[in-house]
Amino acid sequence: MFNIKRKTEEVKMYYEIGEIIRKNIHVNGFDFKLFILKGHMGISIQVKDMNNVPIKHAYVVDENDLDMASDLFNQAIDEWIEENTDEQDRLINLVMRW
């Protein structure tokens, strides 16, 4: 599962308001794009597929919001995988984990 709070790379200590941070994420063998925009009161998070089609968006102002957003993103990504792949795709991704 995708864990938005998991530290996977070096992070900056300060981000400018209006700055967009991009990161590719890997969930169950499928790649997605994560976009984070720093606002005045919180951050806007959007997950897109590799064709830049938005999957889910959330505005987060605290860690409780982040936990809820993480759950929503996981659910939305799982639904995207279910709707946009077939059994062969899922099998190939399982084999690729070997």
Predicted model pTM: 0.80
**CB within 8 Å of 67: residues ≥ 6 apart:** none
Asked if residue 10 belongs to a domain, the reply is no
Tell me: the pLDDT tens digits for 45-56? 999 999 999 999
Rounded CA-CA distance 97/45 in Å is 28
- Region 70-89: mean pLDDT is 95
| Nearest one of 83, 20, 28, 18 to 55, comparing CA atoms | 83
| pLDDT at residue 8 in the model | 54
What amino acid is encoded at 15 in this protein?
Answer: Y
Asked if residue 13 belongs to a domain, the reply is no
What amino acid is encoded at 66 in this protein?
Answer: L
Q: What's the domain range around 88?
A: 20-96
| pLDDT at residue 78 in the model | 95
Q: Number of helices and strands (H, E) in the chain?
A: 2, 4
Asked if residue 1 belongs to a domain, the reply is no
The percentage of the chain sitting over the pLDDT mark of 90, rounded to a whole number, equals: 77
- How many folded domains does the chain comprise? 1
Asked if residue 2 belongs to a domain, the reply is no
Rounded CA-CA distance 15/5 in Å is 17
Report long-range pairs for 9-16 (Cβ below 8 Å, ≥24 apart): none
Asked if residue 58 belongs to a domain, the reply is yes
Tell me: the pLDDT tens digits for 27-44? 988 999 999 999 999 999
Asked if residue 15 belongs to a domain, the reply is no
